[in-house]
Amino acid sequence: MQFGIFSVGDVTPDPTTGRTPTERERIKAMVAIALKAEEAGLDVFATGEHHNPPFVPSSPTTMLGHIAARTERLILSTATTLITTNDPVKIAEDFAMLQHLADGRVDLMLGRGNTAPVYPWFGQDIRQGIPLAIENYALLHRLWREEAVDWEGKFRTPLQGFTATPRPLDGVPPFVWHGSIRSPEIAEQAAYYGDGFFHNNIFWPAEHTKRMVELYRTRYAHHGHGTPEQAIVGLGGHVFMRRNAQDAVREFRPYFDVAPVYGHGPSLEDFMAQTPLTVGSPQQVIEKTLAFRDYAGDYQRQLFLVDHAGLPLKTVLEQIDLLGEEVVPVLRKEFAVGRPADVPEAPTHAARLAAARG
């Protein structure tokens, strides 16, 4: 399995001090978080894509290219690439370029985002969100696999004999995860292409996640890519840790209460009881994360959100140290126990290149 962290890149005032970081500080903090992830022995860093306050990561490939130059092993990904409002041609070229710069340490997660106004900002209609996701990815998929593409669709101008440049590294396109927390159409899309399905898993109860993952696995097998157990699944999660669980709850509560995504809603205790959010000791994080397998099966990638809601960078780096030192080593060992031999490993460029060469 791969373990890592993802950032939504929010610029949120620290509720304990009232101080709001500058955009520059937040961007630099995200880079520091990625570097710390590699230092701590994690496998993946993923950034969101947003075009509205209070978020700053509007250009993921720019950030990931910078991080690629400063890391050696870390897989660089997106926690969302907006397939609905980005031009598929630009996605194809940007991520192929990043592939070359990062020596293949690149994949991406396609999604529709959670901000309605972004659609008209980029000339699209939110009511066409699902059709846009389906058509745009159909084109992106071909652009990475065909030298000359003829294309005519509903949402962009036609293409005639178009070649996206550069071509994917070694002829192997970046691995694609289709991310969704609520849309069965996206689970079906992932299954149809034999791509990965990523369920963010930070807002919904286990029963909902189970239904979405089972749908994807069933349809993956239906489309002839393998058994349901061989489908490629990723999950999110949100944690905050201190060695003493009561200290973790006490420290995190003011941040939870004002978080831009779920603040001003249910209490911290209710949210922890009803969703995968874990605020407590490293052992509690281990136990709750291991329980994900009970309803998602054996899966390939686990990403944690650790830098949300105004948490100071120092605190976030401490969280990554705890993940690297106390949590992930145990998860690696325990998730390997009883894992069937035919369950695939997490996708990497090297493994996919070897498979392509037979």
What CATH number is associated with residue 302? Answer: 3.20.20.30
Model pTM? 0.94
Retrieve residue 327's tokens. 């949590």
Number of domains present in the structure of the chain? 1
What is the span of the domain harbouring residue 98? 2-357
pLDDT in single tens digits along all 358 residues of the chain: 999 999 999 999 999 999 999 999 999 999 999 999 999 999 999 999 888 888 899 999 999 999 999 999 999 999 988 888 889 999 999 999 999 999 999 999 998 766 677 878 777 777 888 888 899 999 999 999 999 999 999 999 999 999 999 999 999 999 999 998 778 999 999 999 999 999 987 777 889 999 999 999 999 999 999 999 999 999 999 999 999 999 999 999 999 998 877 777 889 999 999 899 999 999 999 999 999 999 999 999 999 999 989 999 999 999 999 999 999 999 999 999 999 999 999 999 999 999 999 8
